[in-house]
Amino acid sequence: MQHKAILFLFLFFAFKTTLTAQPDRWQQRVEYRMDIDMDVSKHQFKGKQQLKYTNNSPDELDRVFFHLYFNAFQPGSNMDVRSLNLPDPDPRVKDRISKLKPDEYGWHKISSLKMDGKPCKFEVNETILEVELPKGIQPNSSVEFEMEFTSQVPVQIRRSGRNSKDGIDYSMAQWYPKICEYDYQGWHANPYVAREFYGVWGDFDVKITIDRKYILGASGILQNGGNIGYGYEPEGTAVRPEKGDKFTWHWRAENVHDFAWTADPDYKHVVLRRKDGLVFHFLYQDKVETRKTWEAAPAQMDKAFDFINKNFGQYPYKSYAFLEGGDGGMEYPMATLLAGKAGIGTFIHEAIHAWYYGLLGSNESLYGWMDEGFTEYATAEVENYLKKERLLGGEPESNSHLEANETMIRFNKSGREEALSIHADHFTNNSAYSVGAYVKGHVLLHQLQYIMGKPVFDKAMLTYFDTWKFKHPNPNDFIRVMEKESGLELDWFKEYFVYTTRTIDYGIKTVEKANRKETRVVLERKGLMPMPLDITVTYKDGKKQVFNLPLDIMRGAKKGTEFTGDKYTVLPDWRWTHPTYEFTLDEKYRNISRVEIDASQRLLDTDRANNAWGKKLDEKEDEED
């Protein structure tokens, strides 16, 4: 009996611990070992991939899928046809794939694939390799895949490819057969149409053999840097190997969900070792037009990382590489590919992806806004901080997120907005996807900052990172952190903001004398989306008072911690069903000079013209009382 009681207590505490500690969401696990032999004369390479795959799901898997991204760069591919049919195609893609010649195509040819030594049946379905397994992979067990393949690097159309506009020889992103993610929502074997990514966390051990004239940059840490002078010298061009036609670069990246690399014979390599031991690598072609940005970047990024570590979570890896390559700015774990002419804003944006794309790793196809939008929010904060530190031109702003609000309101009025919940590949036009993911995702955080109050929100963003890093959070996981940190119910906010395009518009209907001592304020909700309001009342003597008007469905109110200096009062709830709300100010009408909804201008209110009431100068003062 006693024994059982102890066991029960033990189980109880074990259970309780899992409830209060980190959320338990199983993750698949990968360990890649790849040997790549480049033939730069043909832009082709031979690859051997050994992949240890651990199935931590509760399901037996009888099939697996791999991405074969390079196959998108052939006429008639999903990416090609999609681009030809979009009303506003990306100019980098447009009809360029349809015009490729066979020696400019990208392709992967799989010559063999085995699981635990037994051959697998497989079928290449353009950018997805469908694999039937000789035997199911049991829950909580690992198997070893062995694949041999040959690939051709396409002429650069989008992100990866050879001979970028800037003259970078190889931008090697989405370049190897990569197993698709299987999670609690099943397989995510999306054909590649130039949009978003999602991957399994694990370790990459990659050996790239290439003509010795090339200098490489990559995700991960170079294992044989000592041989070739790559690494920790304060500054300078990496020393190329002395002998042989080819050299093998050996990289390792641990606990990442992708691996990218670039190669060019003319890279300049600048190294910055930060105080905390993190090493930055900058690899770029030293050109007059772009030199200024690349030379200023190390000091700026050093400060930026300090700020991001403190405000958005700690970067855990020992290396980060800024690699000239690609066609704009594109994030990869421990590295980014940047066009030579990329501005510092792009450097910052791509670096912050290390947090939202790299470490939180939400399924970007389903929730692109949780990556791009959150990254944009943090970028605005970092840029403002660098302005304050005089490391970036321009005056710092009191709120660097207001422009995002304006863009969003304008775009909504254009009639092209689509709900954030649409799969990234399936928006009907490029602008609906990009404004949604980048701008509305940004504004979503800005709205939460307004609802929760900045001090509470700031802390919640750190908690979100610490709770969900390496776990692929979804919108609900995010909102739950916001709820727990603020003590407010926020499901309604997620429902309206993510699943609909409904808009917010509140107005002041009337401000009038209620009686000899009091003033009556009537507000109206004109938009379909409900929101809590901050109402700032300015009195004749110049004093201000902030009234917070919570929604009944929040089951609580914002703490007044962000309103230092002004008196803060919480009014009774506004029931969301009610189009108007009335409250009484304990002050004579003659002493009220201004009433304003959201003086901070954070609320995404589509019509601000009706947000403020002020006494007209010629308004006759009521002298009776």
Cα torsion for 88, 345, 168, 243, to the nearest 10°?
Answer: -150
Q: How far is the CB of 572 from Zn ion (least distance, A)?
A: 42
Task: State the amino acid at position 568 in one-letter form.
Answer: Y
Q: How far is the CB of 394 from Zn ion (least distance, A)?
A: 21
Q: Using the minimum distance from each CB to Zn ion, give the nearer residue, 183 or 372.
A: 372
Q: How far is the CB of 79 from Zn ion (least distance, A)?
A: 19
> In the 8-state DSSP scheme, what is residue 153?
P
Rounded CA-CA distance 189/177 in Å is: 12
Cα angle value 94/97/98 (rounded, 5°): 95
Cα angle value 352/185/136 (rounded, 5°): 115
Q: How far is the CB of 199 from Zn ion (least distance, A)?
A: 16
Q: How far is the CB of 443 from Zn ion (least distance, A)?
A: 16
DSSP string spanning 524-571? Answer: EE-SSS---EEEEEEETTS-EEEEEE-BGGGSS---GGG--SSEEEEP
# residues contacting Zn ion (CB under 5 A): 1
Q: Using the minimum distance from each CB to Zn ion, give the nearer residue, 202 or 358.
A: 358
Cα angle value 74/105/263 (rounded, 5°): 130
Rounded CA-CA distance 394/390 in Å is: 9
Beta bridge partners of 123: 130
* Residues 354-413 interacting with Zn ion (rule: CB under 5 A): 372
Q: How far is the CB of 377 from Zn ion (least distance, A)?
A: 12
| Relative orientation angle of helices 364-388 and 288-312, to the nearest 10 degrees | 100
| Relative orientation angle of helices 475-486 and 364-388, to the nearest 10 degrees | 50
Rounded CA-CA distance 575/52 in Å is: 55
Task: State the amino acid at position 122 in one-letter form.
Answer: F
Q: How far is the CB of 341 from Zn ion (least distance, A)?
A: 17
Q: Using the minimum distance from each CB to Zn ion, give the nearer residue, 181 or 372.
A: 372
Per-residue contact flags (x/-) with Zn ion for residues 316 to 355, judged by CB under 5 A: ----------------------------------------
10 Å Cβ neighbour count for 276?
12
Q: Using the minimum distance from each CB to Zn ion, give the nearer residue, 210 or 461.
A: 461
Q: Using the minimum distance from each CB to Zn ion, give the nearer residue, 35 or 372.
A: 372
> In the 8-state DSSP scheme, what is residue 175?
-
Q: Using the minimum distance from each CB to Zn ion, give the nearer residue, 372 or 383.
A: 372
Q: How far is the CB of 331 from Zn ion (least distance, A)?
A: 6
Q: Using the minimum distance from each CB to Zn ion, give the nearer residue, 77 or 219.
A: 219
Phi, psi dihedrals of residue 24, rounded to the nearest 5°: -100, 100
- What does DSSP say about strands 592-597 and 612-614: parallel, antiparallel, or unpaired? antiparallel
> In the 8-state DSSP scheme, what is residue 504?
B
Q: Which residue is nearest to Zn ion (CB)?
A: 372
Q: How far is the CB of 312 from Zn ion (least distance, A)?
A: 15
Q: Using the minimum distance from each CB to Zn ion, give the nearer residue, 305 or 438.
A: 438
Q: Using the minimum distance from each CB to Zn ion, give the nearer residue, 372 or 605.
A: 372
Contact 60, 135 (CB under 8 A): no
Per-residue contact flags (x/-) with Zn ion for residues 27 to 66, judged by CB under 5 A: ----------------------------------------
* Residues 266-305 interacting with Zn ion (rule: CB under 5 A): none
Q: Using the minimum distance from each CB to Zn ion, give the nearer residue, 364 or 562.
A: 364
Rounded CA-CA distance 622/615 in Å is: 12
Q: How far is the CB of 373 from Zn ion (least distance, A)?
A: 9
DSSP string spanning 97-110? Answer: GGG--GGG--EEEE
Q: How far is the CB of 157 from Zn ion (least distance, A)?
A: 19
Q: Using the minimum distance from each CB to Zn ion, give the nearer residue, 228 or 437.
A: 437
Rounded CA-CA distance 581/172 in Å is: 58
* Binding residues for Zn ion (CB under 5 A): 372
